[in-house]
Amino acid sequence: MEDGRPEAHVAAGEVVERLLALTGELHRLLAECAARADLTPQQAMLLRCLGQRRPMHTVAAELSCDPSNVTGLIDRLERRGLVERGPDAADRRVRVLSLTAAGRRVRAELERDLARAAALPAGLSPAELRQLLGLLAKFRPGGAEPR
Amino acid sequence: MEDGRPEAHVAAGEVVERLLALTGELHRLLAECAARADLTPQQAMLLRCLGQRRPMHTVAAELSCDPSNVTGLIDRLERRGLVERGPDAADRRVRVLSLTAAGRRVRAELERDLARAAALPAGLSPAELRQLLGLLAKFRPGGAEPR
DNA sequence: TATTGTTATACTCTATAACTATA
DNA sequence: TATAGTTATAGAGTATAACAATA
């Protein structure tokens, strides 16, 4: 708790502003890439989670949403033949999610598109990119969490 | 500009990963602050736009969404007495949006909460914060855009 | 008793198309 | 003709609560 200095507060407000703007831009970017793959942004995020087979509830945790929500998302992706629900040998309650061949193709295409679209930020040199990565790694919003 | 090196590509993929993760964290943060003010994240973003009175279509542009969408958002906020629709003296087609006294209170509370929650990242010194700001200002996802 | 996943429900968000009232 | 905003509609996302199956 050494920041009672006004500059820290000013910079802090500025960071909020820029980060929320960045979030908006990135979400727009994600939406565009998703749309090119005929997906919604949420479906795209779900597909990105499925690099490996995994049970539903871990996906819900990773997406920070309610499990009942994932049920609906998977329903729509399964109807399109991109995802499958399988049994778990060890625990008959769980449904293991996995990509179909078509799902793997769509996911790979999406990843390529995202890398192409987001990873060529004009105006940043490779050195600056590394610097940004380092700062983002240290940055933890809500890090000052009380209570 | 010494691109073309493999490291640049690796860093690029890493940036996508980190930025999407950051987007998720920030959205969660926004959702939490919004919820404390009894708002949805979208309603919070709309309120943030209304620091000054302004016509609806400029808000739609800033939020990058369809105007018909803003109609619904405003309907709900107006019903709660946070926003008002007023006439424009110069052009009778436009509806000028403005915050009520209650709306200003909620917005101020929200801004304070956001600054508190997001702007005190543990582990970043003031110098690093300034550095981060500079890099974020230069960063333009989709910067490879033609035209 | 607790956990995994689904269903039912209700709401919000979102875009498209058709409409109005202005300009 | 073009623009600002609304309405109607349809669909997607979201959480809550109740539930079945399993642990």
Cα distances (Å, whole numbers) of residue A30 to A90, A91, A111, A123, B37: 36, 35, 10, 20, 28
pLDDT greater than 70 at residue A23: yes
pLDDT of residue A4: 46
Rounded CA gap, A30 and A132, in Å? 20
Contact between A126 and B7 (Cβ < 8 Å): yes
pLDDT greater than 50 at residue B59: yes
Rounded CA gap, A84 and A75, in Å? 9
3-state secondary structure of B97: strand
Please choose, from the candidates B58, B35, B54, B55, the residue with its C-alpha nearest in 3D space to the C-alpha of residue B106.
B35
| A65-76 pLDDT per residue, tens | 999 999 999 999
pLDDT greater than 80 at residue B14: no
pLDDT of residue B137: 80
- State which residue has its Cα closest to the C1' atom of C21: B93
- Do the Cβ atoms of B139 and A23 come within 8 Å? no
Q: How far does the CA of residue B76 sit from the closest CA of chain A (Å)?
A: 22
Rounded CA gap, A137 and B7, in Å? 18
Q: Does B147 touch chain A (CB under 8 A)?
A: no
Please choose, from the candidates B17, B13, B44, B12, the residue with its C-alpha nearest in 3D space to the C-alpha of residue B118.
B44
Rounded CA gap, A103 and A16, in Å? 36
- Is there contact between B42 and strand C, defined as CB under 7 Å from any strand atom? yes
pLDDT of residue A52: 97
The region that residue B5 occupies, defined by phi over 0 for left and psi between -120 and 50 for alpha, beta otherwise, is beta
How does the average pLDDT of chain A come out, rounded? 86
Q: What is the token pair recorded at A72?
A: 């609906």
- Is there contact between B72 and strand C, defined as CB under 7 Å from any strand atom? yes
pLDDT of residue A128: 83
Q: Kindly report which listed range (A79-93, A120-134, B26-40) carries the lowest average pLDDT score.
A: A120-134
Q: What integer is the mean pLDDT of A126-136?
A: 81
- Is there contact between A41 and strand C, defined as CB under 7 Å from any strand atom? no
Q: What integer is the mean pLDDT of B27-52?
A: 96
- Enumerate the β-bridge partners of residue B87: B95
pLDDT greater than 90 at residue B131: no
pLDDT of residue A13: 72
Chain A nearest-CA residue for B4? A126
With a CB-CB cutoff of 8 Å, which residues 12-41 of chain B face chain A? 12-16, 18-20, 22-30
Out of B15, B25, B120, name the one closest to residue A118 (CB): B15
pLDDT greater than 70 at residue B143: no
Rounded CA gap, B135 and A133, in Å? 10
pLDDT greater than 90 at residue A45: yes
According to DSSP H, which parts of chain B are helical?
6-36, 41-49, 56-63, 67-79, 101-118, 126-138
**Sign of the alpha-carbon dihedral angle for B112, B28, B76, B68:** positive
pLDDT of residue B4: 45
Model pTM score: 0.87
Confidence of residue B135 (pLDDT cuts 50, 70, 90): confident
Chain C bases near protein CB atoms (7 A cut-off): 3-8, 12-18, 21-23
DSSP E strand boundaries for chain A:
54-55, 83-87, 95-99
Q: What integer is the mean pLDDT of A98-111?
A: 97
pLDDT of residue B35: 96
Q: Kindly report which listed range (A6-15, A88-97, B112-121, B129-138) carries the lowest average pLDDT score.
A: A6-15
pLDDT greater than 60 at residue A10: no
Residues on chain A touching B23 (C-beta within 8 angstroms): 22-23, 26-27, 30
Strand order in the sheet with A83-87: A54-55, A95-99, A83-87
Of A136 and A67, the one with more pLDDT: A67
Confidence of residue A11 (pLDDT cuts 50, 70, 90): low
Contact between B85 and B74 (Cβ < 8 Å): yes
